[in-house]
Amino acid sequence: MGSLTNPHKLACTAASLLDKSTSDHTIKNYLDYLEDAFLFNSVKRYNVKGRKYFNTIQKYYAVDLGLRNAKLNFRQQERSHLMENMLYNELLHRGYNVDVGVVEVDQMLDGKRKRCQYEIDFVVNIGSEKVYIQSALNVSTPEKKKQETFSLHNTDDFFRKIVVLDGSQKMWVDDDGVIYVGVIPFLLEDYLTT
């Protein structure tokens, strides 16, 4: 849930955990069945700078978190994943088209220039405009704030950027124009069109 995955990766995991070989095609069929049954939604990855979709890896979100939690016997309560999934469901409920954003950045690592990919949790498409949304439990330290906003600062455009935090914090805007708001006010008001 909320993790990047593809049929090949799942087939390899099944082979190692279950000692059973399963083809990528079979796994893809099962994923399609789960979507057709309205248990999961798949979300495509969108290259923000290249303005194109990746066809291989997608994210999957549970349509009903209550069913997901009950099936897992209320274990695996990762707040960050649950909040991200809840935000995705809310954006869909509001009628938005939602993708997962990818920002490619050239960086010097170990003395070599490398192209690194950073994720934006959601790219919300509103006509010809986009809104970038990052889901974060908190940004209580400068390091955490940088981690959560690095991809937003490297989009090379001027679309609105929002970080949704766990809690009921009122909206504020930092010096770089990034909007921060608690998840509760975000769910109660539409911060995307105001």
Which pLDDT tens digit goes with each residue over 96-128? 999 999 999 998 888 999 999 999 999 999 999
Residue 12 has pLDDT above 90, yes or no: no
Residue 1 has pLDDT above 60, yes or no: no
Can you give the pLDDT at residue 169? Answer: 96
CA dihedral 162, 165, 139, 105 (to 10 degrees): -40
- The residue that leads in pLDDT, 98 or 193, is 98
Residue 6 has pLDDT above 90, yes or no: no
Closest CA to 101 of 56, 54, 144, 63: 54
Least confident window among 30-34, 36-40, 65-69, 89-93: 65-69
- The residue that leads in pLDDT, 74 or 101, is 101
**Rounded (5°) CA angle 78-81-84:** 145
With cut-offs at 50, 70 and 90, classify the pLDDT of residue 2.
low
Alpha-carbon gap, residue 99 to 90, rounded angstroms: 14
Domain ranges of the chain: 42-188
Alpha-carbon gap, residue 82 to 69, rounded angstroms: 10
Identify any residues that bridge with 182 across adjacent strands, giving them in sequence order. Answer: 165
Can you give the pLDDT at residue 157? Answer: 94
The sheet with strand 40-47 has its strands ordered as: 4-5, 52-62, 40-47, 97-109, 112-126, 129-136, 160-165, 179-182, 172-173
Q: What percent of the chain has pLDDT over 90?
A: 62
